[in-house]
Amino acid sequence: MPDLLLELFSEEIPAHMQAQAAKDLERLTVGMLTDRGFLFEGIKAFGGPRRLTLAITGLPAEQKDVREELKGPKVDAPQAALDGFLKKTGLTKDQLKVEKTPKGDVYMAVIERKGRVTPLVLAEIIPEVMAKFPWPKSMRWLPGNSVRWVRPLHSILATFDGEVVPFEFAGIKSGNATRGHRFLSSGIIEVRRFEDYEAALKKAHVVLDASERAEIISHDLKQKAFALGLEPIEDAGLLAEVSGLAEWPTVLIGTIQDQFMDVPAEILQTSMRTHQKYFSLRDPKTGKMANRFALVANMLTKDGGKEIVAGNERVLRARLSDAKFFWDEDRKHSLESRVEKLKGIVFHAKLGTQFDRVERIEKLAGEIAAKIGADVEKAKRAARLAKADLTTGVVGEFPELQGVIGGYYARHDKEGTDVANAVRDHYRPAGPGDAVPNTPVSIVVALADKLDALTAFFGTGEKPTGSGDPFALRRAALGIIRILLENKLRFPLKVSDELLTFFADRLKVALKEKGIRHDLIDAVFSLGHETDLVRLVARVKALQAFLKSDDGANLLAGYKRAANILKAEEKKDNKTFTREVLESHLSEPAEKALFAALAKARGAIIPALEKEDFAAAMQQMASLRVPVDAFFEGVKVNADDKQVRENRLNLLASLRATLHQVADFSRIEG
C-alpha cells in the first residue's frame, strides 16, 4: 500500500519545542485520518532544527465509504429542534427517516459519503493540522495574513505514493522539494518517498532523526574524551538540547585556560552549560574536572574545526573571566556581612524579606538542634548564613548554585566544616535522585529551612493546588520525610492538622515506591497521635507484614465481621456499645475464651507499643485469631436474652477497641 511523506521546512525551530512538535504532528494527523476512516501500517515523526517530518506507511489509496446514522429529535419536538438537526446534517425534512423507539418516534438521518481518493483527503487535512498546530509560541510573518507558525515557513513537501499532494498553506504550494544543511549543501533536493528522502538528506548533511543525532553526539563525546584519557560528565538535558541545535552534529574539544581551574568546578560547569551549552569532561580515575570541554558544532570545516574551537575558547575565556571576577569579588566580603543585605530582598509579599526568613530559620534551627542533640550554636550559625549567598555575584549570575556557593564562601570565611557543609546542603534533597544531608548540623538546617517554608506558606494560605505548587512545598515536605526516615531521626512534627495531613499524603507517595500500602499509612495516621514519622513507618511496616500472614488475614476478616455486626446492631439500637463486658454473663466456652484472650492481649499490646516493639504487638494480635474464629463459629451474637446479646456486642466492641490500639482497622482495604 502507498506511503505518505510530509515535511514542513521552516527557519530555526527552538530546540526544546522540536520533540513535542513531532509528536503533535503525528497525533493530529492520525486523529484526522482515523476520523475519516483510515487505517495505516506504520508512522514515524521527526523534529529537527529546520524541519518537522511525518512518514506514514501502508495508507490505503482510497477512503472507505462512510455510512453514518444520526439520531435526531422526536417527531413531536419543537420546530427549532428539528431545524437545528437539519442544519447539522445538511439534509431536508423529507430526507429524514422516522424510527420507532420505546420513547416514541424519532427522526433519523442517514448520511452516506462515498470514499474519496486519499490525496484529496490529505490535501484537506494537512492544512487543517497546520492551521491548528499547538506551538507553545508562534508568530505571524506574512503581510495581510494572520497564519501562524513557530518561525517563517519556507516549503512544504507532501507526497503520496511518490506523487505530490497538492495544497496550499501560508501562501506556499506543496511540492516534492526540500533543502539540506544550511551551509554544507546547496540547492534543491527533489524526492518522492521517505527512503530517498532520508538518504538524500544524509547526503546533504542532515541527520533527520533526533535520537540518531543524540547517539552520534554521545558516541563522539565518549570517543574524543577517551582519546584524552577523560570521560564526559553525563548531562541528558544538555544532550537533548544540542541535538536540536545541529542538523549535522560535530563534537569538538577545546581547552580551558589554567587560570580558571581554581574556580570551583560547579561554577565552571554551570557557566559552560548555561551560557555555552558545552559538556564538561573529567578524569575517570579521580573524578576531578578536566581542563577540557566539548562543544557540538553544526559544521564541518576544511580546517577540521580549528577556527571554531579557537573562537569558542575565546568566548569561554570571556565568560569565565566574568565568573572568576564574581568569585574573586564575592570573597572580599564575608557571608556574615551579607546577612544585613538580605533586608533588601523580598522573599514573599506576605512573608517579608529574606532577612525575616533567616531570623525564623535561625530560631527554628536552634529548637530542632536542641531536640535532636545537634550542636545548637553551630546550627544557628549555619542557618544565619544560609541565605547570605543570595547577595553574591555568582548566585546572581547562576541562581541554581545557591547553597553550593554559600558553602564555598563559608569555608573561605573559616566558619568550620559543619557550618559550611550545612550552608551548602540546606536546600537538599533537590529531587528524588538527590542524597539527603546526613550530618547533624546539616540535617538541622535543611529541616529548619523546609519546615519554615511549609508553615509560613500554609499560614498565609498559599497551599499547593492540583495544578500548581509555585513554592515547591511538595518537594519540601518530601525532603523532610526523606531526611527523617533515611537518618532514622526521632523528631515529632509539631505542625497544624492541615499540614500533618499534607505530610501524610506526601508520605504515601514516598512509600508507595517502596511497596508500602497507603491504606495502612492512613490506618495508623488516623489514630491521630502519631507525629513521629520513623515510629509511624515502623508500625506500618510491622502491620503490613502481619496482614500478609495467615493470622493477620484471618484476624482482619474477623475484625470486619465484628465491625459489620456492631455497625448494624448499633444502628438498630441507636447506641454504641462501649460498656464493660460482664464476665458473669458469659456462658459459651468460645466467648469466655475470647474474653480471656482479649484481656491478655490488651495487657500486652500497650506496653509493646510503648516499647516500640511492634513485632511483639503484632504477635499479641496474632494470638487473637483462633479465639476470634472460634467465637464466630460457636456463638450466636444476637442471643434472645437481651442482656446476653448486649454483653456479646460489648465483647465485640472490646475486640474492635483492642485492635484500634494498633491501627484503625476500618481503614484497611481488602
Partner 1 sequence: MAKARTFQDLILTLQNYWAGHGCLILQPYDNEMGAGTFHPATTLRALGPRPWNAAFVQPSRRPSDGRYGENPNRLQHYYQYQVILKPAPANVQELYLGSIRAIGLDPDLHDIRFVEDDWESPTLGAAGLGWEVWCDGMEITQFTYFQQVGGIECDLVCAEITYGLERLAMYVQNVEFVYDLAFNDEFRYGEVFHQNEQEFSAYNFERADTEILFQHFKDAEKQCRELLTGKKLALPAYDQCIKASHAFNLLDARGVISVTERAAYIGRVRALAQACCEAWLASPMGAYTPRFA
Which residue lies nearer to partner 1 by CB, 152 or 284? Answer: 152
- 228: cell is 584524552
Q: How far is the CB of 325 from partner 1 (least distance, A)?
A: 7
Q: How far is the CB of 178 from partner 1 (least distance, A)?
A: 16
The residues with which 113 forms a beta bridge, in sequence order, are: 66
**Cis peptide leading into 249, omega within 30 of 0?**
no
- 573: cell is 439500637
Q: How far is the CB of 457 from partner 1 (least distance, A)?
A: 19
* Cα–Cα distance for residue pair 363/456, rounded to 1 Å: 14
Contact between 444 and 374 under an 8 Å Cβ cutoff? The reply is yes
- 548: cell is 500478609
Q: How far is the CB of 57 from partner 1 (least distance, A)?
A: 32
Among 349, 350, 346, CA closest to 460? 350
Which residue lies nearer to partner 1 by CB, 137 or 571? Answer: 137
Q: How far is the CB of 397 from partner 1 (least distance, A)?
A: 12
Which residue lies nearer to partner 1 by CB, 57 or 276? Answer: 276
3-state secondary structure of 296: strand
Which residue lies nearer to partner 1 by CB, 21 or 624? Answer: 21
3-state secondary structure of 130: helix
Which residue lies nearer to partner 1 by CB, 320 or 404? Answer: 320
* Cα–Cα distance for residue pair 437/427, rounded to 1 Å: 9
Which residue lies nearer to partner 1 by CB, 245 or 289? Answer: 245
Buried-exposed string 134-169: b where 16+ CB fall within 10 A, e elsewhere: ebeeeeeeeeeeebbbbeebbbbbbbbbeebbebeb
Which residue lies nearer to partner 1 by CB, 14 or 264? Answer: 14
Contact between 86 and 33 under an 8 Å Cβ cutoff? The reply is no
The residues with which 279 forms a beta bridge, in sequence order, are: 294
Q: How far is the CB of 373 from partner 1 (least distance, A)?
A: 40
Per CB under 8 A, residues contacting partner 1 are 11-12, 14-16, 137-143, 150-152, 154, 183, 245-246, 276, 278, 295, 297-299, 301-303, 307-308, 310-312, 314-318, 321-322, 325, 344-346
Which residue lies nearer to partner 1 by CB, 315 or 609? Answer: 315
Q: How far is the CB of 14 from partner 1 (least distance, A)?
A: 4
Among 608, 623, 604, 606, CA closest to 661? 606
Secondary structure string (H, E, C) spanning 474-526: HHHHHHHHHHHHHCCCCCCCCCCHHHHHHHHHHHHHHHHCCCCCHHHHHHHHC
Q: How far is the CB of 252 from partner 1 (least distance, A)?
A: 9
Q: How far is the CB of 138 from partner 1 (least distance, A)?
A: 8
**What radius of gyration, in Å, describes the C-alpha atoms of the chain?**
36
Q: How far is the CB of 182 from partner 1 (least distance, A)?
A: 8
* Cα–Cα distance for residue pair 313/320, rounded to 1 Å: 10
Contact between 398 and 267 under an 8 Å Cβ cutoff? The reply is yes
Q: What is the DSSP pairing of strand 97-101 with strand 139-140?
A: unpaired
Which residue lies nearer to partner 1 by CB, 147 or 616? Answer: 147
Which residue lies nearer to partner 1 by CB, 118 or 270? Answer: 270
Q: How far is CA 169 from CA 133, 173, 440, in A?
A: 12, 7, 65
Contact between 45 and 23 under an 8 Å Cβ cutoff? The reply is yes
